[in-house]
Amino acid sequence: MWDVSSTWVNLLAATNHWFETAVVLNSNSDPSTAATVFGQTVLFDVSAEYRAFVEEQPSVGGCLSAELNVRMLKPSVTIPRMAKVRPWVRVTDGTTYSEWVPQGAFFIDTREVTQNDDGLDVLNLHAYDPMLKTEADYPSTSHSWPYSDINVVREIASTIGVGVDARTVDLMTSNYQIGLPAGYSMRETLGNIAAMYAGNFICNYDGDLLLVPINSIPPETNYLVDQVGNAITFGGDRILV
């Protein structure tokens, strides 16, 4: 959950409002201060998909990667391989603007340049969040085993260059002792820990590891909504969570 301002809430409650989207390159700064920002004038479509379960049916023990697709005018700047991209949204009525709110942290996997009907070069980006980095083998460590569950999660987070969401720390109080995960990937290890807590791991909007117990998922919707219940969209598409 990202805390939003009263301006955000009040604008959403008004009849005449809309969302603006921006994509920031290789920075954690929001679009108002980041060096490289792609805004409304060059973006055709930005869509992010988050999943709550590995399969369509409820399940536990998963480590779920979110995906991002961006269609934009081909920029003059060079976008590096595996560059970090962060989508942001804000709400406005054309006069008042809310703060920018992050919608994830992703790393570019593939890119393709096509032409639209007007003959303009269009850059198509497909990206994944940091969870994909957990596919690697569990790293060599110097500490003794068994190791507490939360410390294993912290070690994996450090290895892939992210943090651990504070809500995960609050949830993981059982202090399960984890044996040396020899021959297992970091993703398999995280999945086993998630199963112990009847949940799944995802990355939050800052890219940090977040444990989501199955009983904490709201039953009324699969879509990302704001604090007053309106669906948040990218390019007109509702965002699955």
* Per-residue DSSP letter, 225: B
Mark the ranges of the chain whose per-residue pLDDT is less than 70. 1-2, 52-57, 216-241
- State the pLDDT at residue 56: 66
* Domain range annotation of the chain: 6-130+217-238, 132-216
Tell me the DSSP string of 111-176: EEEEE-TTS-EEEEEEEE-GGGGGGSBPPP--S-SSEEHHHHHHHHHHHHT--B-HHHHHH--S-P
Contact 189, 152 (CB under 8 A): yes
- State the pLDDT at residue 241: 43
- State the pLDDT at residue 119: 87
| Bridge partners for 20 per DSSP | 90
* Domain 132-216 in the same topology as domain 6-130+217-238: no
Give the pairing of strands 199-203 and 209-213.
antiparallel
Does the domain spanning 132-216 belong to CATH 3.40.210? no
CATH class of 6-130+217-238: mainly beta
Contact 134, 186 (CB under 8 A): yes
